[in-house]
């Protein structure tokens, strides 16, 4: 007697009861006190197996801030969904192009104190971080022999325009060592023209190796396993000490690696959710056709 409708109704009810814990939170606290460690429930993948295949494979690299912060205590599916909606709303007004650490960018912001009420800064992207609406990146340049860095929030409504003048990657994930490098490596003219790459070409990796100034430095770069730096020329004792601080076992810690990522299936769900905006995202991803121009420094 109980028809299909009732069955689906029962399923919906079950969803209401279970859903709050499972879908929205993805984690549950064991015991009464919150001090007990939080348990993370397994992610239930989408029923459609094609979803993972349909997501463009490089989306997580191009739009990393659409992936939430993986700390389970701070996660909530509804909040992430609303946040993504806001991000897309902002992007439809102010397109944010594809960029990487090492790309040379120009950012125009509204500034009530500037002469023309806008302020443009050109520089190399040395760091980017945070997810969601908090996402930011830092640009560095040397102007009048003075090193300058400015941090920009990607979704701040003060930002008028973001241009990528030269789209390229570097060998490292952070270029903070440019603070200790010779100023020539972070000097870019403010009237730099956009270098155009061929369409569909992969993003070039700039293999430039930077010469650092002699110590003292901001950080102990010999401990950071930097790729984009020439021989540091330090005495042997520095490398010995760096060796002691290495953690070679960390790359085998499978669960540490897992806890720092968003699972593949969940990423597919996130990018499927924003898939109706793909035309918008893709049209603003790389403006115009580009061609590779070799950097003058290398």
- 77-93 and 264-273 helices, crossing angle to 10°: 50
Strands 146-153 and 38-40: unpaired
Does 39 sit near another protein (CB under 8 A)?
A: yes
Residue closer to another protein by CB (options 78, 293) is 78
Full 3-state SS string of 122-167:
EEEEEEEECCHHHCEEEEEEEECCEEEEEEEECCCCCEEEEEEEEC
Does 214 sit near another protein (CB under 8 A)?
A: yes
132: alpha, beta or left? (left if phi > 0; alpha if psi -120 to 50): left
Interactions with another protein, residue window 152-181 (CB under 8 A) = 152-153, 155-160, 179-180
Compute the least distance from the CB of residue 213 to another protein, in Å. Answer: 7
Interactions with another protein, residue window 42-81 (CB under 8 A) = 42-43, 45, 60-61, 64-65, 67-76, 78-80
Does 127 sit near another protein (CB under 8 A)?
A: yes
Closest CA to 152 of 128, 178, 173, 185: 128
Compute the least distance from the CB of residue 77 to another protein, in Å. Answer: 9
Does 202 sit near another protein (CB under 8 A)?
A: no
Does 115 sit near another protein (CB under 8 A)?
A: yes
The phi, psi pair for 258, rounded to 5°, reads -70, -40
Does 231 sit near another protein (CB under 8 A)?
A: no
Does 225 sit near another protein (CB under 8 A)?
A: no
Compute the least distance from the CB of residue 38 to another protein, in Å. Answer: 4
CA distances to 100, 103, 222, 242 from 173, rounded to whole Å, are 9, 12, 16, 20
Does 7 sit near another protein (CB under 8 A)?
A: yes
Compute the least distance from the CB of residue 289 to another protein, in Å. Answer: 27
């Amino acid at each position: 007697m109980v028809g299909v409708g009732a069955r689906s109704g029962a399923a919906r009810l079950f969803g209401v009861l279970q859903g709050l814990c499972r879908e929205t939170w993805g984690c549950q606290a064991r015991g009464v006190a919150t001090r007990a460690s939080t348990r993370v429930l397994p992610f239930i993948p989408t029923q459609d197996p094609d979803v993972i295949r349909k997501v463009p494979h490089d989306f997580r690299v191009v739009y990393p801030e659409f992936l939430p912060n993986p700390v389970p205590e701070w996660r909530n599916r509804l909040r992430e969904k609303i946040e993504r909606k806001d991000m897309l709303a902002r992007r439809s007004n102010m397109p944010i192009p594809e960029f990487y650490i090492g790309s040379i960018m120009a950012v125009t912001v509204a500034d009530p104190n500037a002469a023309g009420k806008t302020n443009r800064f050109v520089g190399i992207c040395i760091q980017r971080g945070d997810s969601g609406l908090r996402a930011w990146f830092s640009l560095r340049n040397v102007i009048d022999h003075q090193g300058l860095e400015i941090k920009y929030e990607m979704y701040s409504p003060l930002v008028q325009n973001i241009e990528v003048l030269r789209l390229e990657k570097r060998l490292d994930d952070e270029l903070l060592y440019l603070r200790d490098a010779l100023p020539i490596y972070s000097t870019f003219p403010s009237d730099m023209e956009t270098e155009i790459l061929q369409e569909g070409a992969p993003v070039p990796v700039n293999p430039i190796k930077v010469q650092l100034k002699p110590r003292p430095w901001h950080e102990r770069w010999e401990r950071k396993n930097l790729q984009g730096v020439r021989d540091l020329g330090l005495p042997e004792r520095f490398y010995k000490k760096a060796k002691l601080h290495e953690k070679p076992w960390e790359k085998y810690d499978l669960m540490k690696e897992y806890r720092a990522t968003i699972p593949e299936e969940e990423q597919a769900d996130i990018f499927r959710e924003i898939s109706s905006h793909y035309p918008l995202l893709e049209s603003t991803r790389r403006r115009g056709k580009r061609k590779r121009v070799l950097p003058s420094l290398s």
